[in-house]
Amino acid sequence: MFEQVVTQTVRQTDAFFGPEVGWFALSPMLALLGGALAMMLVGALTPTWPKGMYALASATTAGTAGALAMVQWDDITDNGPATLVGGAVAFDTLSMFLTITICLAVVLVSLLSDEFLRGTPNDGPEIYALFLVAAVGGIVMASANDLIVLFLGLETLSLALYVLAASNRRSLASAESGIKYFVLGGFASAFFLYGVALLYGSAGSTNISEIVATFQTGVDIDNPDALALAGLALLIVGLGFKVAAVPFHVWTPDVYQGAPSPVTAFMASAGKAAAFAAMLRVLVIALPFFRDDWRPVIWVLAVASLVVGSVLAIVQTDVKRMLAYSSVSHAGFLLVGVEAAGHRAGEADPGSGMPSVVLYLMLYSVLVIGSFAVVTVVSRGSGAGDGDSSLESFKGLSQRRPLLALAFTVFLLAQAGVPLTSGFVAKFGVIQAAVEERSYAIAIIAMVAAVVAAFLYLRIMVNMWLAEPADGVDEATAAGEPGGLRVPLSAGVAIAGAAAFTLFVGVLPGWLIDAADTVTAYAR
């Protein structure tokens, strides 16, 4: 009897075949992971690298991954979307578009971090490796076709961001932001994982394709599945924290203000892009048959984020906190697009909701990194680390560094949604998507919130262009003394590139809009 069991087990083992991996299709993630491991290993075994080499290695790695994603994009458009690794990873234009977005964010943040880290204990490969690891986690979230894989990507991204937020060991504010982010993020992850468990109990699988197939034939409209609805509610709570939507936004101003400015830029760009990618995967793709249940919740979160983010931003006196609440307001605009996508979730014609969201994510990622890059340069002056980011420090910036003030003006106008900037294209896209679905109320609220938030950006611009510099600051700038402003080359390249992209897309947005329109052909 025992021999028969052993023989049967051996036969079963012989019959087992692992899933086909598709290594080249996963090459963007593998490039980022390989770059992170190589930086840590080589950095530990070699003397300190020449000035700027850590940032160059990180930016080159991210640029290579982005280029590979463009190659994969061509393959997807030729052969159609598919799934990889036994259906656990989606290989579609949605994942590639967000991969390019995250890689672009890593390139810009790496350039911004170069001069910022010099002369500090963090001047080494570790911070850049964490950027790359966080990018891997974000791309896994954007590409996940299984809720467990999505959770693994979420934790990879989150753990890297916790460490990055507390990475300035000479700053108590950085340590405080890291611990706040860690504690609240842990609760959010627990909510998300509990939601996954309840959804598994209802659907019998965590694979998104199988969940769709299960509910496609098994959703009872008259007697909804309480277990699935409870799981859906917990998933929204966990994702609401990650996207910084009201009322789950309480961590945002303190973490954004306390974290090192390049890290804040990365959280506001790549972190938000990954979180909204996860929201699209979970709500629009995995749970389209529950759209009448989750769409009203998203409506409420969107309105609350628009109102609270816009109103609280204008009463702040610190520019980093202003941009933090502005980020909450932008999350509201993105939720407007998610709500619009919910109207046609699961239908043959998905509408323009999802394309408007992914387009907004790319455009906002670039302009928010440019904004925080200017804040980094102004706040730190000629010293090391973060300094004064109060509104007073921006007084008379046009007289001290006119090109820097001009670039910041471009970013602020874009965030306000002024025409001929990428911000106008982004906001017009999500509002148009809402109008197409006849969600007139939320579209009107979004437009009013944009007008209210414009006061915030005008307030900063007035300080830059019409106010006089603080006593002694203009003389210090001219003499190159402490208190003056020096724009490092790498940070200047990041700011100039972000400003050029913001204006170029604002004037000629068609090519990017056409690319975003293809993301609705996602893997099922």
In this structure, what DSSP letter does residue 482 have?
A: B
Render each residue's pLDDT in the chain as its tens digit; 524 residues. 445 544 554 455 455 567 777 888 899 999 999 999 999 999 888 888 888 899 999 999 999 999 999 999 988 988 888 888 888 999 999 999 999 999 999 999 999 998 888 777 778 889 999 999 999 999 999 999 999 999 999 999 999 999 999 988 888 888 899 999 999 999 999 999 999 999 999 888 999 989 988 888 765 655 667 888 999 999 999 999 999 998 998 899 999 998 999 999 999 999 999 999 999 999 999 999 888 899 999 999 999 999 999 999 988 888 999 999 999 999 999 999 999 999 988 787 888 899 999 999 999 999 999 999 999 999 876 344 556 788 888 888 888 899 999 999 999 999 999 999 999 999 999 999 999 999 999 999 999 999 999 998 999 999 999 888 766 555 444 444 444 578 888 899 999 999 999 999 999 999 999 999 998 887 66
Predicted pLDDT at 383: 44
The sign of the dihedral angle between the CA atoms of 157, 160, 163, 167 is: negative
Quote the tokens at residue 185: 């993020």
- Provide the 10 A C-beta neighbour count for residue 456: 26
Report the residue count for the chain: 524
Q: Where are the domains of the chain?
A: 25-520
Element (H, E) at 494: helix 489-507
Question: Of 194, 104, 183, 90, whose CA–CA distance to 143 is shortest?
Answer: 90
Contacts of 172 (CB under 8 A, 6+ apart): none
- CA distance linking residue 506 with residue 495, whole number of Å: 16
Predicted pLDDT at 171: 82
Quote the tokens at residue 484: 């003056």
271 and 161 in contact (C-beta within 8 Å)?
A: yes
- CA distance linking residue 186 with residue 206, whole number of Å: 21
| DSSP SS3 for 484 | strand
Question: Of 233, 155, 249, whose CA–CA distance to 194 is shortest?
Answer: 233
Helix axis angle, 402-416 to 422-436, nearest 10°:
0
The values of phi and psi at residue 388, to 5°, are: -90, 115
- CA distance linking residue 168 with residue 119, whole number of Å: 12
113-145: b (≥16 Cβ within 10 Å) or e: bbbbbeebebbbbbbbbbbbbbbbbbbbbbbbb
